[in-house]
C-alpha cells in the first residue's frame, strides 16, 4: 500500500497565517501580505530591528512610540492603520 504524502501549507514567518502562493523558498522566511507590508514600512521608517516583526506586541509598541521615529514620514498614517490591524490579531 502506497503512503500518501500530506501537503503542508506554507505559513507566514511572523503570524503563522497560511500562504496561498506557489514558489517555495527553502530556508528563507516567507510573509503574508500584511506582514510583508508591515516589515517594508518599519524598515523605511527607521524603526529598530527588534520591533520590525509583525506581531501584536510590536504593533502596540508602534502605536505608542512610532511617532518618535516616523511622525514626518509620508506613510505614517498607513503604518498606523496597519498597526491597528496587526495589534488586533491574537499572536
55 is a domain residue: yes
DSSP 8-state class, residue 20: -
Report pLDDT digits (tens) over 4-30.
554 556 788 888 778 765 555 566 778
Sequence-distant (6+) residues with CB within 8 A of 13 are 29, 30, 31, 35
Supply the range of the domain harboring residue 64.
33-87
Domain count, the chain: 1
5 is a domain residue: no
Are the CB atoms for 79 and 86 separated by under 8 Å? Answer: no
63 is a domain residue: yes
Residues of the chain predicted below pLDDT 70: 1-9, 20-27, 91
CA distance linking residue 54 with residue 8, whole number of Å = 23
pTM for the whole thing?
0.75
CA distance linking residue 21 with residue 80, whole number of Å = 27
Amino acid at each position: 500500500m502506497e503512503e500518501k504524502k500530506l501537503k503542508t501549507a506554507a505559513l507566514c514567518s511572523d503570524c503563522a497565517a497560511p500562504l496561498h502562493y506557489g514558489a517555495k523558498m527553502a530556508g528563507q522566511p516567507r510573509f503574508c501580505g500584511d506582514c510583508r507590508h508591515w516589515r517594508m514600512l518599519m524598515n523605511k521608517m527607521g524603526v529598530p530591528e527588534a520591533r520590525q516583526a509583525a506581531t501584536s506586541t510590536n504593533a502596540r509598541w508602534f502605536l505608542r512610540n512610532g511617532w518618535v521615529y516616523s511622525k514626518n514620514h509620508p506613510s505614517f498614517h498607513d503604518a498606523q492603520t496597519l498597526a491597528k490591524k496587526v495589534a488586533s490579531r491574537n499572536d
